[in-house]
Structure 1
């Protein structure tokens, strides 16, 4: 099954990584490595609009879908969906249905309030007719809402019930901070399992950040199908440390 959104909605396991370095070569390399997608991290990295545009170009060259983690819920989602050629958005700190609805209004033309122009890259610089552009965008854009606040845990069914959401994605570091528990801890695991259950009830995918690939199998067994594993910085650090440790052994 082709297309990131189609694969996610079919329940396939897809694995990506955060991108924190504002150079397009990283996206090309991750694409050649075989990742299913990558997440440019505007929330925690110096990725401005120009850098995002270059990463989007690289993603097309590498055939690697990009899902941008936005710096702010609604405004960030609006930019990320605005036509640069990204395949979707990951929105931090969605703690209630109202925020989820606002995100969807910013991303989906079908909601009637997203600004319309086929002139950007995603509209083939004006060569794609407006009805075709809006239909294609709404059909292919992935929306991942991050569950990172203890308040969100009491509103999971309301959030997940918003139409066209693809993934309830747990940010475990922020969620543990909000809960006041350890990362990792049994309390955090229980909260993640609550999100997985809510996603299953709503018929959407559950997603999770993991720091290491060794954690994927266990969480896949529990029902997670969308994983973001580490980051480009982490991969570089891990590889460099492995070299120096082996060389000094």
Structure 2
């Protein structure tokens, strides 16, 4: 198994991906052709059947995208995502060392973890791969990315980042701002930004990769400037903003033409 995103992170490079929360293999292809490094298939907030999830992963691989799944709260969701071929999992609401250990164990085979072993699934090429080589390769190359998105997680960040097998700490800025009580101001509130800055600093001091979400290219650039290694742009936001610009520009031009006609 090869995981280009994990390889880049190991060498200190930054990676850019896109979140997608709706079923569309076609759009996965567009994300790949656009040149992103990875795609996060959002099974926490998105709506996917098991077969749809597998089709999205398969499509990502066809366009050289590393498929990551943000898993649901179902205890079996990590196992199912990895068996279908995901190269990593983002795990929501990891608030303690115990939560982080549990996430790693579900993603790793024994003796490192508790992931169930089978070779008949897609990740093992339906039985064409197996044994020690497959198990060790999976354990080495799968990304385990816990979400830091509550004050409890922030308070326990030292213990969480110290868990062996954690690859990236992912800051869930929206959940964090709500958990801090800033429902209206959101992640832009100065107190939230202060907490985020401290998380970046702590990760940097401990040589731990850190990631976050961005609404657009500007947000992604700002995250990289702050020290992020792993940034996921929300595809829904990018699409909506692009469509709104088309509507606004077209209406503006139409109004200008109408006004010129009136003056005549």
Q: Which moved more, 1:171-180 or 1:212-221?
A: 212-221
**Which residue matches 2:191?**
187
Distance 2:164 2:75 in 1: 16
- SS of 1:245's partner is helix
- For the structure 1 residues 112 and 245, does the alpha-carbon distance in structure 2 shift closer, same or farther, using more than 3 Å as the test? closer
Alignment of 1:235 with 2:238, yes or no, is yes
How many pairs are equivalent?
Answer: 247
Does structure 2 conserve the Cα–Cα contact (< 8 Å) formed by 1:56 and 1:84?
A: yes
- For the structure 1 residues 133 and 29, does the alpha-carbon distance in structure 2 shift closer, same or farther, using more than 3 Å as the test? same
Once the two structures are superposed, residues 82-118 of structure 1 have per-residue CA deviations (whole angstroms, 9 ceiling, x without a partner) of: x211110000110001010011010011414211012
Find the structure with the greater CA-based Rg: 2
Distance 2:74 2:7 in 1: 24
Distance 1:60 1:218 in 2: 28
Q: Which has the higher contact order (CA 8 A, sep 6+)?
A: 1
Does structure 2 conserve the Cα–Cα contact (< 8 Å) formed by 1:84 and 1:122?
A: yes
- For the structure 1 residues 202 and 30, does the alpha-carbon distance in structure 2 shift closer, same or farther, using more than 3 Å as the test? same
Once the two structures are superposed, residues 53-96 of structure 1 have per-residue CA deviations (whole angstroms, 9 ceiling, x without a partner) of: 11011012111111101111743222222x21111000011000
Q: Tell me how far 1:14 sits from its aligned partner.
A: 0.8
**Which residue matches 2:255?**
none
Alignment of 1:103 with 2:103, yes or no, is yes
Does structure 1 conserve the Cα–Cα contact (< 8 Å) formed by 2:215 and 2:238?
A: no
**Which residue matches 1:85?**
85
Distance 2:9 2:180 in 1: 28
Once the two structures are superposed, residues 11-51 of structure 1 have per-residue CA deviations (whole angstroms, 9 ceiling, x without a partner) of: 21111111112121111110011111111111111112111
Structure 1's unaligned 5+ residue stretches are none
Distance 2:55 2:224 in 1: 33
Q: CA RMSD in A?
A: 1.7
Matches within 5 A, 1:61-76: 61-72=62-73, 74-76=75-77
Does structure 1 conserve the Cα–Cα contact (< 8 Å) formed by 2:169 and 2:210?
A: yes
How does the TM-score come out when normalised to structure 2? 0.88
- SS of 1:128's partner is coil
Q: Which moved more, 1:200-209 or 1:149-158?
A: 200-209
Runs of 4+ aligned structure 1 residues displaced above 4 Å come to none
Once the two structures are superposed, residues 182-241 of structure 1 have per-residue CA deviations (whole angstroms, 9 ceiling, x without a partner) of: 32111111111222233224332110111121123333222111111122x223212222
- SS of 1:71's partner is coil
